């Protein structure tokens, strides 16, 4: 049988067709616009997502035996707020995960309601990207739109709703809304009251691998697939990427170098760090995970290459980089503010340490190293909880760079396992669909049979030592700059 994984990203949707043995048959991508109506705002039109998903799906299965398509599932950009009215029409453009407008609402949640209460209700504190403060923002700044809300959903769940007519979400994606009692995998009544919404507005909660329904007859006709095609709930992009890299079960790690950057640690047990510096979320395998998320990762390199030095040949720029572990230039990668572990929407990208002999290659190297150092910030929090990690998988666009993988291996002192397919969330979505259809008995079995390691980047003792010295300097830069970030707006 055939399974479709839909990775609804920030810049594009990637659709992947996988057979029952885990072999990828075809991949299709479709881009859609991103809107920045005000500084720090980030929006998209859900209608654009759906249009490109349907268009991409037609190309994806054009040459396949459509009668063998058995299941569809998702990985999706997290935290985005999609609101529908009583006519099922989108009320306003979706407010995305990297949108920083909700600083007043976050301040209210963290300091008036209180971080301790939020952690008690949801296992997390408020970050500007989360969904609950976005709901409060609409309530406070767009009261007419707030009054129209009948359904609240996340980005990938809008696609599931259009395909099935079921208002559903999964526990991993819902964990990032600040509306879910993560430990008990249910909606938090207290958070609904705080946000002024009813639980009826929220989607029904499912495990990521559970079937939520089948495609609507008109969708089946338009795509030429059977009406029996099952749709599984899917997962937030990071949990889906973890499934796609085999980061399931206890004590596994995955680093994602996409538009955002994450360090993802799977666990069979629920746990929260005392400062809520890491997100404590439900995982797509039925258990839990800790996650540190930085808002700008591979996007820092894209910004530096495209906008600042004006080149599309990223590889050529990296070839100019010579010795590692001795760069005197540092870069704070906070181009969209920062989430883990600083939780500061006012943080900004910063270069420091340049001299008259600083080269273009030094600056490029600083950007790549800055992202790796910032990932280590979150990794250090995990280590403080007694979590011992010796190796990690890696995925995302940035993972295609051998140099960046080497930096990460040595800056975090981890063995970095490279997998055969770096398709992350799209592959994870297809695997969840396969589990929902009974192809595999659970997510762990699917990961064990499908995910293959093809290379490992080992840390080098001398380079680890050099980078540790650099990291100790790097970690002092943010505290020194923080007072400036609070006044530079």
The residues assigned a catalytic role are 237
Within 10 angstroms of residue 107's Cβ, the number of other Cβ atoms is: 13
Extract the tokens encoding 111.
């300091």
The rounded distance, in Å, linking the Cα atoms of 410 and 118 is 36
The three-state secondary structure class of 18 is strand
Q: Could you tell me which residues are beta bridge partners of residue 453?
A: 419
- Burial pattern 448-464, b for ≥16 Cβ within 10 A else e, equals eebbeeeeebebbeebb
Within 10 angstroms of residue 99's Cβ, the number of other Cβ atoms is: 24
Question: To 10 degrees, the CA torsion angle through 429, 431, 433, 438?
Answer: -170
Contact 15, 57 (CB under 8 A): yes
The rounded distance, in Å, linking the Cα atoms of 286 and 161 is 22
Residue 18 marked ligand-binding: no
User: DSSP E strands: which ranges in 372-470?
Assistant: 391-395, 415-419, 453-457
The rounded distance, in Å, linking the Cα atoms of 273 and 260 is 22
Residue 291 marked ligand-binding: no
The answer for residues whose C-beta is within 8 angstroms of residue 23's C-beta and 6 or more apart is: none
User: DSSP E strands: which ranges in 159-228?
Assistant: 168-170, 180-181, 186-187, 204-206, 211-214
Contact 210, 436 (CB under 8 A): yes
Extract the tokens encoding 400.
């295609």
On the CB side of 171, how many CA atoms lie within 13 Å of its CA?
22
Measured over the CA atoms of residue 411, residue 128, residue 191 and residue 209, the dihedral's sign is negative
The rounded distance, in Å, linking the Cα atoms of 149 and 280 is 28
Closest CA to 249 of 265, 263, 232, 261: 265
The answer for residues whose C-beta is within 8 angstroms of residue 448's C-beta and 6 or more apart is: 246
Binding-site positions for substrate? 78-79
């Amino acid at each position: 049988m055939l399974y479709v994984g839909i990775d609804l990203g920030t810049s594009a949707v990637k659709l992947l067709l996988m057979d029952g043995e885990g072999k990828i048959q075809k991949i299709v991508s479709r881009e859609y616009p991103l809107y920045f109506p005000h500084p720090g705002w980030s929006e998209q039109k859900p209608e654009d997502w759906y249009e490109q998903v349907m268009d991409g799906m037609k190309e994806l299965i054009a040459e396949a035996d459509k009668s063998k398509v058995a299941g569809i599932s998702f990985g999706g950009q997290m935290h985005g707020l999609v609101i529908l009215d009583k006519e099922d029409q989108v009320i306003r453009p979706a407010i995305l995960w990297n949108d920083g407008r909700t600083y007043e609402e976050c301040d209210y949640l963290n300091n008036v309601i209180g971080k301790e209460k939020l952690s008690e209700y949801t296992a997390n504190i408020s970050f500007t990207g989360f969904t609950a403060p976005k709901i409060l923002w609409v309530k406070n700044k767009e009261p007419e739109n707030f009054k129209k809300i009948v359904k609240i959903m996340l980005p990938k769940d809008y696609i599931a709703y259009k395909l099935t007519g079921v208002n559903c979400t999964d526990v991993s994606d819902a964990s990032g809304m600040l509306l879910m009692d993560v430990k008990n995998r249910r909606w938090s009544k207290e958070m609904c009251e705080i946000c002024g919404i009813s639980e009826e507005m929220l989607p029904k909660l499912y495990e990521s691998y559970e079937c939520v329904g089948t495609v609507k007859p008109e969708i089946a006709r338009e795509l030429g697939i059977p009406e029996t095609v099952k749709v599984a709930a899917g997962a937030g992009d990071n949990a889906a990427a973890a499934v796609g890299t085999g980061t399931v079960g206890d004590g596994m790690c995955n680093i994602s170098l996409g538009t955002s950057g994450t360090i993802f640690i799977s666990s069979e047990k629920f746990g929260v760090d005392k400062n809520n510096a890491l997100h404590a979320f439900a995982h797509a395998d039925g258990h839990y995970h800790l996650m540190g998320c930085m808002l700008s990762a591979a996007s820092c390199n894209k910004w530096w290459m495209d906008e600042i030095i004006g080149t599309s040949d990223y590889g050529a720029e990296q070839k100019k980089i010579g010795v590692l572990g001795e760069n005197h230039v540092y870069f704070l990668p906070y181009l969209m503010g920062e989430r883990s572990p600083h939780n500061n929407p006012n943080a900004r990208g910063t270069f420091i340490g340049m001299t008259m002999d600083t080269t273009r290659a030094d600056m490029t190297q600083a950007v790549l190293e800055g992202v790796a150092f910032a990932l280590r910030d979150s990794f250090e929090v995990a280590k403080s909880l007694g979590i011992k990690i010796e190796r990690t998988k890696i995925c995302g666009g940035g993972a295609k760079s051998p140099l960046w993988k080497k930096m990460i291996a040595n800056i975090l002192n981890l063995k970095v396992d490279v997998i055969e397919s770096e398709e992350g969330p799209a592959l994870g979505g297809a695997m969840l669909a396969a589990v929902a259809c009974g192809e595999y008995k659970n997510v762990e079995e699917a990961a064990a049979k499908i995910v293959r390691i093809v290379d490992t980047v080992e840390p080098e003792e001398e380079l680890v030592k050099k980078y540790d010295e650099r990291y100790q300097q790097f970690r002092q830069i943010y505290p020194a700059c923080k007072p400036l970030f609070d006044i530079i707006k």
